[in-house]
Amino acid sequence: MSAREEILTRLRAAVADIPPVEVAREYRRGGVASVELLADRLVDYGATVRRSTRAEVGAAVAECLADAPAIVVPDDLPAHLLAGYRGVVLREPLAVERLDGASAVVTGCRVAIAATGTIILDGGEGQGRRALTLVPDHHVCVVGADQVVAGLPEAVAVLDPRSPQTWISGPSATSDIELRRVEGVHGPRRLDVIIVD
């Protein structure tokens, strides 16, 4: 028996006679799944937010990527999102070195929380793997207005807890070092969000 197995066996034995505790916690639900509130929260965090129609979303993405010579996208990103972009498009799967050479990444999302200004990616269609959104310095995320929910309980209800998730509330930033804000430490310095009505 390994040391790990021995410790786990002891822990299980120590708590074996303790009855399970039922935790009934009622989270506040409701509120308005407001696109305006989501946009306001994202702007507060330092993101750039644009509104678009489905017909014009390709042009909106291209505008966000005007200074990006090469971008990376998930292999299943819908083609209409890149209709106006004229640079080099690298599709997943990519080696980390190639991923690091991309100026920007374009993805969709699974759900967005209006109350907190949080966008959640779960590796589903049009989102790619986690490294895809953490390595390039600029992230363009396309959010459908129908993907916006009011609060955290509503978002958790649509997520699969077994999926790898990335929760994004604005560009990457930290104030851990001498309480000075530093951007781009744990992900992209720039976040552009296009909300499609």
Residue 93 lies in a domain: yes
Q: How would you classify the pairing of strands 148-149 and 166-168?
A: unpaired
Q: Provide the pLDDT for residue 133.
A: 86
- Domain range enclosing 117: 30-196
From the list 31, 43, 59, 49, the residue with the least C-alpha distance to 149 is 31
Owner of token pair 């958790």: 156
Q: How far apart are CA 73 and CA 71, in angstroms?
A: 7
From the list 106, 92, 104, 90, the residue with the least C-alpha distance to 141 is 106
Residue 20 lies in a domain: no
Q: Provide the pLDDT for residue 28.
A: 64
How much is the pTM?
0.79
Residue 186 lies in a domain: yes
Q: Provide the pLDDT for residue 182.
A: 62
Residue 1 lies in a domain: no
Q: How far apart are CA 29 and CA 26, in angstroms?
A: 9
Residue 6 lies in a domain: no
CATH no. for residue 170?
Answer: 3.40.50.10420
Residues with Cβ within 8 Å of residue 140, at least 6 apart in sequence: 61, 64, 65, 104, 105, 106, 107, 192, 193, 194
From the list 56, 82, 76, the residue with the least C-alpha distance to 140 is 82
Owner of token pair 């021995």: 6
Residue 134 lies in a domain: yes
Q: pLDDT tens digits for the chain (197 residues)?
A: 899 999 989 988 888 888 877 665 666 666 777 999 999 999 998 899 999 999 999 999 999 999 999 999 999 999 999 999 999 999 988 888 888 888 999 999 999 999 999 999 999 999 999 888 888 889 999 999 999 999 999 999 999 988 999 999 877 666 666 766 666 556 688 999 999 99
Residue 102 lies in a domain: yes
Q: Provide the pLDDT for residue 174.
A: 63
How many domains is the chain built from? 1
Residue 74 lies in a domain: yes
Q: How far apart are CA 155 and CA 123, in angstroms?
A: 15
